């Protein structure tokens, strides 16, 4: 008998939606129990899109096939965790976000004796470097601690060891200037093994850590928390849990940058006022 998994591409039957939903539940349960990463409260549509792309790259036809690979193949499990995570950023890849972040940082960081910034579920080294360069541009970096957290140990290792090719600098320089940069981006980098890494003065202001927004508790008090790229993937209950975590981690008069407007009916909404009209940057006032 030829099954849907075995049939040639042109002869495969469409997957039963109820069966696929069951397969997805089983896969997410397996990932949570086997690896300790809980995606069960993430938005299902976002997960399906990411898994469909992963399955296409690996020539897999069903979620059950993917689950089998993930449970028995280290490379497949790493690929799954990477696929479900935040896509890696490149420097200044969102110019408007960079402009907004700098405007907010200038309001919330200068008054604190030792300002702390949390890049929650950071999109890799280049996002953190972008923030560091922006702060350095306004002389805000040297007294500030940037805490960049990622979900997995593999992401942590990649961030700590990251570098960029020299030929990326012209593009990054243009973006940097579009975001208001006035200097030479190259001045923030040095050659290392044929590639470029941030100079120690910039690199040493960033502390990397593995941290799970789903399960871990607050670990510090911050003047600025930014989580704009991961939140869209969270389902309603998880999203509220994470926003409550940020609320418990943000100092009064600190700033919060998220992906979309706060629900004004949410229990934390009364603590905040909008910093930038029409945008999802907020100042905590109580």
| Same domain, yes or no: 273 and 151 | yes
Q: For residue 201, what pLDDT is reported? A: 97
**Is position 89 within any domain?**
no
**Is position 122 within any domain?**
yes
Q: Work out the pLDDT band at 266, boundaries 50, 70, 90.
A: confident
Q: For residue 2, what pLDDT is reported? A: 37
Has residue 152 got a pLDDT over 60?
Answer: yes
Q: For residue 264, what pLDDT is reported? A: 87
Q: For residue 3, what pLDDT is reported? A: 42
| Same domain, yes or no: 153 and 242 | yes
| Same domain, yes or no: 243 and 208 | yes
| Same domain, yes or no: 103 and 222 | yes
| Same domain, yes or no: 186 and 73 | no
Last residue of some domain: 84, 113, 128?
84
**Is position 90 within any domain?**
no
Using a pLDDT cut of 70, give the percent of the chain over it. Answer: 95
For 214-239, what is the mean pLDDT? 96
State the average pLDDT for the chain: 94
For residues 162 and 15, give the distance between their C-alpha atoms in angstroms, rounded to a whole number: 40
For 263-270, what is the mean pLDDT? 89
**Is position 241 within any domain?**
yes
Q: For residue 1, what pLDDT is reported? A: 37
* 60-69, long-range: CB < 8 A, 24+ apart: 61/4, 61/5, 61/12, 62/4, 62/5, 62/15, 62/20, 62/23, 63/20, 63/23, 63/24, 63/26, 63/27, 64/5, 64/23, 64/26, 65/5, 66/27, 67/23, 67/26, 67/27, 67/30
Give tens-digit pLDDT for 16-46: 899 999 999 999 999 999 999 999 999 999 9
The domain spanning residue 267 has which CATH number?
A: 3.40.50.150
**Is position 4 within any domain?**
no
| Same domain, yes or no: 110 and 248 | yes
Last residue of some domain: 84, 114, 144?
84
| Same domain, yes or no: 111 and 222 | yes
Has residue 145 got a pLDDT over 50?
Answer: yes
Has residue 254 got a pLDDT over 60?
Answer: yes
Counting the structural domains of the chain, the total is: 2
| Same domain, yes or no: 144 and 254 | yes
| Same domain, yes or no: 67 and 108 | no
For residues 31 and 76, give the distance between their C-alpha atoms in angstroms, rounded to a whole number: 12
| Same domain, yes or no: 75 and 100 | no
**Is position 170 within any domain?**
yes
For 187-200, what is the mean pLDDT? 96
Using a pLDDT cut of 90, give the percent of the chain over it. Answer: 91
| Same domain, yes or no: 267 and 236 | yes
If one compares 7 and 137, the residue with the highest pLDDT of the two is: 137
Domain range for 36: 9-84
Has residue 206 got a pLDDT over 70?
Answer: yes
For residues 50 and 54, give the distance between their C-alpha atoms in angstroms, rounded to a whole number: 6
Has residue 49 got a pLDDT over 90?
Answer: yes
Q: Work out the pLDDT band at 14, boundaries 50, 70, 90.
A: low
**Is position 192 within any domain?**
yes
| Same domain, yes or no: 262 and 158 | yes
Last residue of some domain: 54, 84, 114?
84
Q: For residue 4, what pLDDT is reported? A: 44
């Amino acid at each position: 008998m030829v099954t849907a998994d075995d049939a040639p591409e042109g002869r495969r039957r469409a997957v039963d939606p109820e069966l696929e939903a069951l397969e997805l539940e089983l896969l997410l349960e397996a990932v949570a129990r086997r690896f300790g990463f809980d995606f069960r409260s993430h938005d299902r549509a976002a997960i399906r899109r990411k898994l469909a792309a992963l399955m296409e790259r690996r020539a897999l036809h069903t979620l059950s096939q993917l689950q089998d690979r993930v449970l028995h193949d280290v490379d497949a499990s790493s690929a799954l965790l990477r696929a479900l995570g935040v896509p890696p950023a490149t420097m200044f890849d969102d110019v408007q976000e960079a402009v907004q972040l700098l405007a907010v940082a200038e309001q919330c960081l200068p008054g604190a004796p030792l300002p702390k910034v949390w890049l929650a579920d950071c999109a890799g080294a280049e996002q953190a470097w972008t923030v560091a360069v922006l702060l350095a541009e306004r002389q805000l970096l040297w007294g500030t601690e940037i805490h960049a957290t990622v979900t997995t140990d593999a992401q942590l290792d990649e961030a700590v060891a990251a570098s960029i090719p020299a030929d990326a600098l012209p593009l990054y320089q243009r973006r940097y200037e579009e975001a208001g940069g006035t200097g030479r981006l190259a001045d923030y980098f040095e050659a290392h093994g044929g590639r470029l890494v941030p100079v120690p003065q910039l690199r040493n202001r960033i502390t990397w850590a593995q941290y799970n927004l789903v399960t871990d508790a607050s670990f510090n008090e911050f003047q600025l928390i930014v989580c704009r790229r991961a939140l869209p993937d969270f389902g309603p209950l998880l999203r509220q849990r994470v926003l409550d975590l940020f609320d418990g981690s943000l100092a009064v008069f600190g700033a919060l940058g998220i992906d979309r407007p706060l629900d004004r009916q949410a229990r934390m909404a009364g603590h905040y006022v909008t910093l930038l009209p029409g945008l999802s940057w907020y100042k905590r006032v109580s």
